[in-house]
Structure formats: C-alpha cells, structure tokens
Amino acid sequence: MKRHHAPALLAAVFALVLPLSACARKAEVPAAEVVPVLAAKVERRAVPIELSAIGNVEALQSVAVQARVSGEIDQVAFSEGQDVQPGDLLFTIDPRPYQAALDEAQARVERDRALAKNAEETAARYADLVKKDYVTPEQYEQMRAGGEAARATAKADEAAVENARLQLSYTRIVAPIAGRTGSIQVHRGNMLRPNDERTLVTINQIRPIAVAFTVPESALDQIRRARADSKLSVVAQPSRGPAEPAAPGTEPGSGGGDKPETGELSFVDNTVDRTTGTVRLKATFANSSGALWPGRFVDVVLTLAHDPGALVIPAEAIQTGQQGSYVFVVKADSTVESRPVTVGRKQGGHVVIAKGLSADERVVTDGQMRLAPGVKVEVKPSAEVRS
C-alpha cells in the first residue's frame, strides 16, 4: 500500500510547491526605477558670433630715451617704474659748460651788433660824402660792403646764440610720451661721452595699450565685411593662476588681474603669413585697470556679429559617443531618448545647436551615467541630485 501511494503523494507535494515558488520569484522582481536628473530647456536667444585666440600685450608706444648732449648726469628726477607725463623731468646733465657757451655767444652777438651799427653809420656818411666828391665811389662801396658784412656776422652770432640755447635745453631730458618708466640704465655721476648712444631709460605707454593676436586666414573675409559695417569689439581676459600675483598698477584686492578688458579692433595686417596661414590683428584698450601688461599673454575674443535666434543648451548636456555628439531628451511621459545633435560654436557655458533639437525641449544636464533610452526620470532641483 505504501509503495502504491508514494507517487501520488509526491505529485501532490510538487503541485503545491510550484505555485508558491512562482509567487516568490514574482515578488523579487523590482518595480521600474525612476532616475533623478537635472534638466534644462532648449532656448532660442541672441548669441554673438566670435573668434577666440591667444594674444600678446604690446605697448602702444615705446621710447628709448637717449641724451642729445654729453656731460655728467647731474640729477635723476624719477623712480624706476614711475608713471610719467609728457614734459616730466627725467634727467639733468651738468648745464654749466652749456650755460657758459650761451653767455659767450650772447656777448659775441652784442659786440658784432655794435660793429654792424657803426659800419652802417659809416656807410651812411660815405654816401653823403661821395655825392660831394669828398670820397671816391670805390671807398663808399668798401664802407657799404663792410656794413653788410657786419650785419651778416651779427645774424650768424644770433644763430649761434639760438644753438647754444638749444644745447643748454638738452641738458634737461624730459619724457616725450605718457607712460611707465623701466629700469634706469645711467645713474647720477655717470659721464655721457659725445655721440653716446646709451639708452637712459625706456618708457612704455600702457594707457591706452595694444593686444596683438592672429586668426586663421579663412576668417579674413568675414572680419573685413563685419568691420566695414561697424566697429568690432574685442575682449581680452588676463589669465593667471590663483597663486599668481595681481598685475602691477592694480589696486590690492580689486581683482584687476582677472577682470576682462573691452577694446576695439584697430589693425588688420595687409598680408597673410604663409608659414602659419594666419593674419595678424591688433586691438586697442583703454586699460583703465592696468591689468594688461606689456609682454603678457591674454585670452582674446573678437565679436564679429550676433545670431538673433540661435538654439542654445548648457554645455554639460552634450555627451560623446561612437556616432558623435548626442543628448538625452526628456519626453512628455518622463522617459528619455538619446538624440544625435550637431554642435555649433561654444558660448561661455553654453553651446549652439545647429541640428537635432527644437526650442522648449528639455535635455538632461546631470545624471546621464544612469540613463538609457526609455528610462523614466524625475527632474529634481540641483541640490537634491548633487546630494
């Protein structure tokens, strides 16, 4: 009896166990996961059309100051690195030899003026005497010629006085331009020899100042067209690390070293560099903060025009795959789809989309690592996702 009923008993047990195990497996399957993300709308806005480059700051004018006369440096009237204005005294050369030469020339001109006056008076008397035949015409001509020679000598002396006065003025060396002085090369007590070509100091004009940069030759036609319509704005951004000190001339704590300066395109070179395929440009800046310093490298942005209706999304929405750039678009049912896009230019923290999106669509900007097409998402505030 036991052997006969054993198969039936086992069948009944399996019939009870199988439904229970199926229910257990069904309970273990998790519900569909909802991924928290950040999202942003695709916006249509006016975006500038820009060219970016690395520029080098150049002094608008640079003058190497030299002496015009020889002598001993008597005075240095400025400090190294000082801002000067046109006409400010820089150096004086011992003026005494030149003052003595001027005094001598003035005395000589006074003497020769007196001689010329006497000769003129004598010639006038001879003019009367020759009419009365008291003197011969030859004697009169001699007196007249002597008077003219004396007048010419007096004029030459007057020119010598002016030259001596000019040489004396050269003993005061003044600033020819407004700018900032460099290192003093010749100090008080040094002797300047005749035809001495040493540079005493170099003055660089830094307000206003220029920035030189290059752009690809392919942009030349676009620049010329834009420049013909209006003045082109150029922004120069001095770049420095957190440990780098602020530029000289900026106020402490002002952040002048990081503040962008806005200027105007002032020069387009008349030839293309065949070696690099670039065109050299220059922009002029007021440099009111003093952040632009000769020799410094800066980031330059030249604005050519404005696109009034560009489609823009945050740059962090762009993902890169084997097929190129793509974004995750949040659909109406809160699921996402992967959509390829054609990326245009970058503008600050945003990118311009040339193809692939429409205005007012939403794209995921954070949380893409957990996404796949069809995954359901919940758009959260920034603080919730990052926590």
Q: Are residues 320 and 253 in the same domain?
A: yes
The C-alpha atoms of residue 319 and residue 311 are separated, in whole angstroms, by: 17
Q: Are residues 77 and 118 in the same domain?
A: no
According to the model, what pLDDT value does residue 15 have? 47
Residue 113 resides in a domain: yes
* Whether pLDDT at 187 is above 60: yes
According to the model, what pLDDT value does residue 119 have? 79
Which DSSP string corresponds to 280-345? EEEEEE--TT----TT-EEEEEEEEEEEEEEEEEEGGG-EEETTEEEEEEE-TTSBEEEEE-EEEE
Residue 1 resides in a domain: no
CATH code at position 198: 2.40.50.100
The C-alpha atoms of residue 116 and residue 108 are separated, in whole angstroms, by: 12
CATH code at position 150: 1.10.287.470
Last residue of a domain, one of 151, 170, 189: 170
Residue 16 resides in a domain: no
The C-alpha atoms of residue 365 and residue 336 are separated, in whole angstroms, by: 12
Cα 165 to its chain centre, rounded Å, is: 43
Residue 27 resides in a domain: no
| Tally of domains in the chain | 3
Q: Are residues 269 and 287 in the same domain?
A: yes
Residue 107 resides in a domain: yes
The C-alpha atoms of residue 144 and residue 121 are separated, in whole angstroms, by: 10
Sign of the dihedral through C-alpha 163, 167, 169, 170: positive
Q: Which amino acid is present at 6?
A: A
Q: Are residues 52 and 200 in the same domain?
A: no
According to the model, what pLDDT value does residue 258 have? 59
Q: Are residues 210 and 200 in the same domain?
A: no
Q: Are residues 236 and 349 in the same domain?
A: yes
Mean pLDDT of 104-124: 86
Highest-pLDDT range among 14-23, 66-75, 132-141: 66-75
What radius of gyration, in Å, describes the C-alpha atoms of the chain? Answer: 44
Q: Are residues 286 and 339 in the same domain?
A: yes
Residue 261 resides in a domain: yes
* Whether pLDDT at 1 is above 80: no
The fraction of the chain above a pLDDT of 90, given in percent, is: 62
Contact 65, 47 (CB under 8 A): no
pTM (two decimals):
0.66
Q: Are residues 188 and 161 in the same domain?
A: no
pLDDT tens digits for range 284-305:
999 988 889 999 999 999 999 8
Q: Are residues 258 and 333 in the same domain?
A: yes
Residue 285 resides in a domain: yes
Residue 363 resides in a domain: yes
pLDDT tens digits for range 62-106:
999 999 999 999 999 999 999 999 999 999 999 999 999 999 999
Last residue of a domain, one of 170, 185, 217: 170
Q: Are residues 107 and 141 in the same domain?
A: yes
Q: Which amino acid is present at 15?
A: A
Q: Are residues 84 and 121 in the same domain?
A: no
* Whether pLDDT at 243 is above 70: no
According to the model, what pLDDT value does residue 281 have? 97
* Whether pLDDT at 249 is above 70: no
Mean pLDDT of 152-160: 90
The fraction of the chain above a pLDDT of 70, given in percent, is: 85
The C-alpha atoms of residue 310 and residue 42 are separated, in whole angstroms, by: 10
Mean pLDDT of 347-373: 91
CATH code at position 337: 2.40.30.170
Last residue of a domain, one of 111, 144, 170: 170
Q: Are residues 198 and 75 in the same domain?
A: yes
The C-alpha atoms of residue 26 and residue 30 are separated, in whole angstroms, by: 9
Q: Which amino acid is present at 99?
A: Q
Joined together, the tokens standing for residue 386 give 């990052």
Cα dihedral: 206, 211, 212, 216 (round 10): 180
Report which of residues 252 and 55 the model is more confident about: 55
- Domain holding 113, by residue range, is 95-170
